[in-house]
């Protein structure tokens, strides 16, 4: 069964960006970015992920273009039914990097209400491009 319809809400459930598209999602939905908290979404990315590494967690327009490129590349890895990793290898100067974007398409309950997909959990770049589309580089860092 696919997740419920996506709903906007207040606080962590607020949708701050719904401009992303992909042809590869487990439930057929495009990924969204919620305001989130320390564990997911924009708040998690702004704090630098679980390791507080802000430089590797950009969220400006240029970073969001890389996120979109990752969504165009198809799924790098899926854990379970709806938790997915998208990857995009790129160069920053002469340095090889991979943009890693984790999305949870499963239902998200906020204050007892089903808000539909949780959305983007985290997005970060990592050094290297190991594995298909840099997948192994993303999984090594897992932030």
Query: What DSSP string describes 63-106?
Result: HHHHHHHHHHT-EEEEETTTEEEEEEEEEETTEEEEEEEEEEEE
Query: Does residue 5 sit within a domain?
Result: no
Say if residues 42 and 16 touch (Cβ distance below 8 Å). Answer: yes
User: What is the reported pLDDT for 50?
Assistant: 92
Number of domains observed in the structure of the chain = 1
Pull the structure tokens for residue 41: 């979404």
Query: Does residue 1 sit within a domain?
Result: no
75-79 sheet: strands from edge to edge: 75-79, 83-92, 95-110, 113-127
Is residue 100 over pLDDT 90? yes
Residue 105: give the domain boundaries.
12-141
Is residue 132 over pLDDT 60? yes
Model pTM?
0.93
Query: Does residue 47 sit within a domain?
Result: yes
């Amino acid at each position: 069964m696919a997740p419920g319809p996506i709903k906007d809400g207040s606080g962590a459930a607020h949708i701050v960006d719904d401009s992303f598209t992909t042809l590869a999602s487990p439930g057929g939905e495009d990924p969204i970015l919620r305001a989130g908290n320390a564990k997911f979404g924009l708040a998690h990315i702004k704090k630098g992920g679980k390791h507080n590494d802000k430089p590797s967690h950009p969220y400006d327009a240029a970073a969001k273009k890389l996120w979109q490129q990752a969504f165009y590349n198809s799924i790098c890895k899926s854990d379970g039914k709806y938790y997915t990793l998208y990857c995009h290898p790129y160069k920053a100067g002469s340095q090889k990097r991979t943009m890693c974007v984790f999305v949870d398409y499963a239902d998200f309950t906020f204050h007892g209400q089903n808000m539909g997909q949780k959305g983007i959990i985290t997005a970060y770049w990592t050094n290297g491009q190991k594995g298909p589309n840099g997948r192994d580089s993303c999984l090594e860092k897992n932030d």
